[in-house]
Amino acid sequence: MDSKAGKAFSFSASKKSSSSGNISVKTLPEGRGLLSRLSSFSVKSSPTTPAGSPPPSPTKHLKEQQLNEDIAAVHKALDYFLNSNISEAEAILKPRYEDSMYYSLGYSFILYLKCVMTFQHDDINNTLNVLKHTIALAAHERKKDGGWLDNITSWVKGTTLEDVKQMTVVERHAELVYSEAYLLKALLSILYDESVMSFLRESLNIRSSYSSYMTLEKYVDYVKSEGKDEELDPNFTSGVALGVGCFSLILSMLPSSVVKVAEFIGFSSDRAHGLQVLEAVGGWDKVHTSTTVSSAMEAKTGLRRPLSEMVLILYHIVLSKMIPLSDVDISFGETILNDCLSRYPRGVFFLYFNGRLMVSKRLLGRAEEEYQRAIDTQKDWKQLQHMCFWELGIIYIMQQKWQKAYDLYTILSKESNWSKAVYIYLKAINLYMLANETSDETIKANYMKKVVSYMEQVTEKKKKIAGKSIPMEKFVARKARKFKSQGNYLLLPDLEILNAFAAFDFMPVDILNNTMERINVELNRLLSLDQEKLPTNYYDDACLAQFLRSITARMLFEQGQDIKTMHQIHEQSLNFVFDNADNILLDHYIFYFSHYERALMLILDKNYTQAEADVQLILKSNERNHYGVGSGPHAKNKYSLASSLVFKCHNCMTQIKLLK
C-alpha cells in the first residue's frame, strides 16, 4: 500500500491547481523556501533528539521546523473552526492542503464533518478525494522500507515498536496522520459504498489503523518509562491518545459477542483506559485527584486536545443519557465543558453540548436558550444549525408546542438529508396533534388531509446506509402504515416517539404529571369499550398506553413524587403488558421494551439479580433470533428498534455487574 502511494507522486516542477475537488498531485516541498536557506543554516540540537544520537542533518531539522510551523497554523485554524469561524479556518487550510500533510488533514477533517451532516454524495466524494490525498502525503513522509523483504515483513507484522523508535519526528507524525486519515476514509467509504467488498476492505483498513495507534501508544509508554518525556510533544501524544481513546470507548460499548470477535482479530476494549488517556491529553486526569481545575491546565496545548475533550463531553453528558454507561461523571463532564466554553465562547459544538446538559437537568427553558445561541452564532453551515433544530423540536414535542415543532421539522425536511422519512413522520404527528386539539372542523379537515399525505410519503423516503435500512426509519414507516390501516388514527404518537428518542428522562415533573393524566384518559377510554366488540388493534393500543404509563411512573418515582404509588403503578402497568403480550398484532417491540423498563426499576430497587434476568431475556432472544411473542403474521419477526434495545441491554449488563 505504501509503495503504491509513493508511486502516485510526480516530482515535476509544474503544479496544476484544482478548485473542483479533483485532486492533482503536486510537488511535495520540504518546506516553503526552507531548502533555499540551507547554505546559511546552522545546525542546532533538537529537543526531540535522543541523547547520544548524531546531530540531525540540516534537511531533517528544517523538515521538523516546517512540521511545527504547519501544526501551529492548523492549530490556529482548528481554534477558529471550534469557535464557529469556519470561513477563517478554511481560508488558512485550503490554500496549502495539497502540499502539507497537516494542512490536508485539517482540511479533510472539516470536510468530513460537513459531509456526514449533509450526506450529499458530492460532499462525500470530495471529502474522500481529499482524504486520499492526505494519505498519499503522509505515506510520502513515512519511514521507507528497506526492500521487498521488509515490505513483506511490514505487511505481515505491521509497524513495530522498534520501527517507531528508529523514525524521525516527521516520520512519526506521518505515521499518525496516515492512521487518522485512513480511519476517516474507511468510515466514510462504508457509508458511501454499500457493497460487501467495500465493507471488508475498509474493515481491514480500520484494523490497520487500530494496530498503528496501538504501536504508537507503546512508543509513548516506552519513552515515558525511560524518563525522556521531554522527547514527546503534545501534538503527537494528543493524536495518539485521541485514536486509542476513541477505539477503546467504542469497542467497550459494543455487544459482547461482537467484542469477542473483535478481540480475536486483535482489537481490545478497555473503557477505563480509553477514558484515562483522553483525560490525560488536557491534564484532566489530575482533576480527579486534586479537585482543582487549574492543575489540569499545565501546558497541555496539543493539537487534538479539544477533540479529546469533545469525546469526553459526549460520553459523560450526551451518551450517558441515551444508554446506561459505567464510569459516568456528569459533574466532571460539566467542568470540562465550562472550560471549553471559556476558550470557545461562540463554539456551536460546545453551545450544543451545553444545551444537552441543560436538558439532562430538565431545565428545558435554559436548554432552548443555549440551542438558540448556537443557531444564532453559526451562519456558515446550516448543518450545524440543523442539529440544534432537532433538539429544539424534541423539547417542543415534550412541551406540546405542536406548531413550533412542526415548523422546525418542516425546515429539516427541506434542508437536511439525514432522514427525510423521520422528518416527514415528525411533521405528520405534530400536525395530527394540532388537528385533534382544534375545535374548527374545517381547519381540522385541512390538517388531516396534510397528515394523510405526509404519512403516505414516509415509506418511500426511507434510505439505506452501508446496505442496511435505518432502524428508526423502519419504525416510523411501520407507524405510518398502522396509521393508515386504523383509519387515520394513532394512539399517543408523540409519547411513543419520545420514548424511541429516549427523551422521557428529560421531562420535568409538571410535564410528567400532565403526561400521566393524558395516558390515564386514554386508558379509561380503552377500558370502557365493549369487550365483545374490541377493535382489531385494541391490545396494541392498551399495551402501548400501559408501557408509556410505566415509564412515566418510574420517572416520577426517580424524582421523589409519591414514591409508593408510582412504584405500584409501574408494576401494575408492566404486568398488564406481560399478561396480554400474546394478543399484540403489530407492536411486538412493546413486550421487549417492557422487560427493559422493568429492569431499570429493579436496578433502582437494587434487585440486581432479577434485573439481570430481564435483560438476559432480551439478549437471548436476539442471540437465538427467536422472538415469537404476540399474534399475527409478523410475531416471529425481529421487532422494531431491536438493535438499539440490544445495544442498551449490553451496556446495562455492564452497569449491573459493577453495581452488584
pLDDT tens sequence across 5-61? 443 333 333 333 333 333 333 333 333 333 333 333 333 333 444 444 455 566 888
Q: Looking at the domain assignment, is residue 84 inside a domain? A: yes
For residue 281, the model assigns a pLDDT of: 93
pLDDT tens sequence across 407-417? 999 999 999 98
- Domains in the chain, number: 3
- State whether 473 and 544 are in the same domain: no
- State whether 426 and 539 are in the same domain: no
Q: Looking at the domain assignment, is residue 363 inside a domain? A: no
- State whether 501 and 635 are in the same domain: yes
- State whether 468 and 562 are in the same domain: no
pLDDT tens sequence across 282-332? 989 877 655 455 544 544 579 999 999 999 999 999 999 988 888 899 999
Q: Looking at the domain assignment, is residue 380 inside a domain? A: no
- State whether 478 and 500 are in the same domain: no
Q: In 3-state terms, what secondary structure has residue 501? A: coil
Q: How distant is the alpha carbon of residue 365 from its chain centre?
A: 25
Q: Looking at the domain assignment, is residue 291 inside a domain? A: no
For residue 9, the model assigns a pLDDT of: 36
- State whether 543 and 576 are in the same domain: yes
> How many Cα neighbours within 13 Å face the side chain of 140?
21
CA angle 88, 89, 94 (to 5 degrees): 105
CB atoms within 10 A of CB 35: 16
pLDDT tens sequence across 55-73? 556 688 899 999 999 999 9
Give the chain's residues under pLDDT 70. 1-58, 145-158, 191-200, 265, 288-300, 465-467
Q: Looking at the domain assignment, is residue 145 inside a domain? A: yes
- State whether 465 and 505 are in the same domain: no
- State whether 203 and 136 are in the same domain: yes
Query: Per the structure block, which three cell numbers stand in for 544?
Result: 402501548
- State whether 165 and 131 are in the same domain: yes
For residue 301, the model assigns a pLDDT of: 75
**How far, in Å, CA of 182 to CA of 200, rounded?**
14
SS3 sequence, 534-602?
CCCCHHHHHHHHHHHHHHHHHHHHHCCCCHHHHHHHHHHHHHHHHHHHHHCCCCCHHHHHHHHHHHHHH
For residue 411, the model assigns a pLDDT of: 96
CB 367 within 8 A of CB 355: yes
For residue 285, the model assigns a pLDDT of: 82
Q: Looking at the domain assignment, is residue 392 inside a domain? A: no
Q: Looking at the domain assignment, is residue 271 inside a domain? A: no
Q: Looking at the domain assignment, is residue 341 inside a domain? A: no
End residue of a domain, out of 203, 223, 243:
223
- State whether 554 and 644 are in the same domain: yes
End residue of a domain, out of 462, 490, 518:
490
Q: What is the extent of the structural domain holding 456?
A: 419-490
For residue 566, the model assigns a pLDDT of: 97
- The identity of residue 200, as a single letter, is L
- State whether 572 and 635 are in the same domain: yes
- State whether 480 and 531 are in the same domain: no
End residue of a domain, out of 223, 247, 280:
223
